[in-house]
Chain A
Amino acid sequence: MIPAFIVENSPALMVIVPLVAAFITPFIGRISHALRSLWVGGAMAVTSAITLILALDVYATGTRLYVFGASAASMALPPDSGGIPIRIIFAVDPMSALMLVITAISGFAIILYSLASERSYSGLESYYTLYLLMITGILGMVSTGDVFNFFVFLEILSLASAGLIAYRIDGGVAVEAALKYFVLSTIGALAILVAIGIYYGEYNALNMAMIAARMQFSLLDQVALVLIIAALAMKCGAVPMHFWTPDAYSMAPSSITALLVVASQASLYGLFRTVFTLYNLSLNAVTVGWLIIILGVLSMVVGVTMAIPQKNVKRLMAYHAVSQTGYMLLGVGVGLAVLGNQSLLDAFGYMAMEGGLFHIINHAMYKGLLFLTAGAIFLRIGTYNLNRMGGLGHSMKWTMVFFVIGALAIAGIPPFNGFASKLMIYESVFIFNPVLAVIAMVVSILTLASFVKVFHSIFMGPRLPEYAEVKEAPLPMLFGMGILAVVVILFGLFPTIVVESLITPAAHALVNQGAYISAILGGA
Chain B
Amino acid sequence: MELTSTLLTGTGSWNPLAWILGLVVAAVIAWLIYSLGEKGYKAGTAQAEPFISGNPEPEKGLVHVRAGNLYWGYLEALKGYYNRLVPLHTGDLHDYILWYLGVTALFLVLVVISA
Q: Which residues of A contact B (CB under 8 A)?
A: 179-180, 183-184, 187-188, 191, 217, 219, 222-223, 225-227, 229-231, 233-234, 240-241, 243-244, 246-247, 283-284, 286-288, 291, 302, 305-306, 308-309, 311, 347-348, 351, 355, 386-391, 414-415, 419-420, 423-424, 427-428, 430-431, 449, 453-454, 456-457, 460-466, 492-497, 499-501
Contacts and interface: CB of A to CB of B under 8 A. Distances in A.
Interface string B1-34: 1010111011110101101100000000000000
A465 B66 contact: no
Contacts of A286: 114
A226 B7 CA distance: 36
A291 B99 CA distance: 16
B1 A230 contact: no
A246 B90 CA distance: 12
13 contacts: A222-B111, A223-B108, A226-B107, A230-B104, A241-B99, A287-B114, A355-B9, A390-B64, A391-B64, A428-B9, A456-B67, A457-B66, A496-B1
A452 B41 CA distance: 29
A492 B16 CA distance: 7
Nearest to B70: A453
Interface residues of A, dominant DSSP: helix
A464 B60 contact: yes
A387 B111 contact: no
Contact of A420 (B14, B60, B75, B115): B14
A505 to B, nearest CB: 13
A243 B90 CA distance: 9
Contacts of B9: 351, 355, 423-424, 427-428
B108 A305 contact: no
Contacts of A247: 91
B110 A287 contact: yes
B68 interface: yes
A284 B75 contact: no
Contacts of B7: 420, 423-424, 495-496, 499
Given A180-B93, A241-B99, A423-B14, A306 B64 contact: no
Contact of B61 (A305, A428, A456, A464): A464
A462 B60 contact: yes
B96 A387 contact: no
A414 B19 contact: yes
Interface in B78-115: 78, 81-82, 85-86, 88-91, 93, 95-97, 99-100, 103-104, 107-108, 110-112, 114-115
Closest 7 CB pairs of A and B: A386-B67, A461-B64, A415-B16, A457-B67, A230-B104, A287-B114, A390-B64
B74 A244 contact: no
B51 interface: no
B111 A465 contact: no
Nearest to A319: B89
A225 B108 CA distance: 9
Given A465-B60, A500-B1, A309 B82 contact: yes
Contacts of B17: 493
A256 to B, nearest CB: 20
Contacts of A219: 112, 115
A291 B108 CA distance: 11
B65 interface: yes
A495 B70 CA distance: 35
Nearest to B60: A462
A434 B74 CA distance: 25
A228 to B, nearest CB: 10
A387 B66 contact: yes
A240 B89 CA distance: 10
Nearest to A227: B104
A243 B61 contact: no
B46 interface: no
A352 to B, nearest CB: 9
Contacts of A246: 89
A462 B114 CA distance: 60
A52 B82 CA distance: 45
B63 A462 contact: yes
Contacts of A386: 66-68
A308 B66 contact: no
Given A243-B95, A420-B7, A453-B70, 4 more contacts: A283-B111, A287-B114, A428-B10, A496-B5
A270 to B, nearest CB: 16
Contact of A423 (B12, B67, B89): B12
Contacts of B60: 391, 461-465
Contacts of B10: 347-348, 351, 427-428, 431
Given A308-B71, A465-B61, A493 B16 contact: yes
A243 B108 contact: no
Contact of B75 (A309, A387, A391, A499): A309
Given A226-B111, A230-B107, A465-B60, A306 B93 contact: no
A240 B12 CA distance: 33
Contacts of A305: 78, 81-82, 85
Contact of B114 (A284, A309, A466, A495): A284
